[in-house]
């Protein structure tokens, strides 16, 4: 054993990393050799081995560590357009600043923090392990006279963007005052607020 060699122990069935050790494992344990520099981030704690799995390259019969993907299943609750009710709070909050012609869309802070913690999202750099399945975008239609056909603005926002940013803003142009917002529901509780 050289001083720069480490051994990655893993479960052969699940391919989960069981540990990274200095001493050569005993017979019967599943492992592969790596250089210390290749696993130093795991040893020093800046990378978590639980977020990785062991992949085997079939052509070269070599093992390597790969980042696990976190699957987020996002389904529509209703495929029809839903008029967001006027109220002060909800999981998704749409604020219309009418004098500024600005629409602001955000996920309520506690709900956003819950989702970020659940999917281990710390910022844009942590999104490489996240795989959104189903609806990847939230669609919002700003319209007038309670009719989605009277379109003022259509805004399509990636769900992951709303998780890492506090809010997304969109500028629009209109002379109509009687406005409302429609969406296809992904979450249960939406709120629409107008600031005149």
> Does 33 have pLDDT greater than 70?
yes
- Per-residue pLDDT, averaged over 117-128, amounts to 74
> Does 181 have pLDDT greater than 90?
yes
- Contacts with 101 (C-beta within 8 Å, 6 or more apart), sequence order: 171, 172, 173, 174
- Does residue 193 sit in helix, strand or coil? strand
Model confidence pLDDT, tens digit, residues 147-179: 888 999 999 998 888 888 889 999 999 888 889
The segment with the largest mean pLDDT, out of 29-38, 68-77, 112-121, is: 29-38
> Does 77 have pLDDT greater than 60?
no
- CA-nearest of 45, 27, 43 to 35 is 43
pLDDT of amino acid 75 = 57
Instruction: Report how far residue 22's alpha carbon sits from residue 165's, in angstroms, rounded to the nearest whole number.
Output: 41
> Does 135 have pLDDT greater than 70?
yes
β 62-67/147-158 pair status: unpaired
């Amino acid at each position: 054993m050289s001083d720069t060699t480490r051994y990655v122990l893993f479960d052969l069935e699940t391919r989960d990393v069981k540990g990274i050790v200095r001493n050569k494992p005993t017979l019967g344990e599943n492992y592969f050799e790596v250089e210390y520099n290749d696993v130093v981030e795991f040893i020093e704690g800046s990378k978590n081995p639980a977020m990785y799995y062991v992949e085997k390259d079939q052509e070269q019969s070599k093992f390597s560590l790969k980042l696990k993907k976190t699957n987020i299943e996002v389904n529509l609750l209703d495929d029809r357009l839903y008029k967001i009710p006027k109220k002060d709070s909800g999981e998704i909050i749409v604020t219309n600043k009418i004098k500024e012609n600005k629409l602001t869309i955000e996920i309520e802070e506690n709900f956003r923090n819950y989702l970020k913690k659940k999917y281990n999202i710390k910022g844009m750099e942590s999104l490489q392990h996240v795989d959104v399945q189903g609806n990847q975008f939230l669609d919002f239609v700003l319209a007038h006279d309670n009719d989605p056909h009277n379109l003022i603005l259509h805004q399509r926002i990636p769900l992951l963007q709303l998780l890492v940013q506090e809010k997304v803003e969109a500028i629009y142009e209109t002379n109509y005052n009687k406005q409302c917002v429609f969406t296809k529901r992904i979450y249960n509780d939406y709120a629409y607020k107008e600031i005149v």
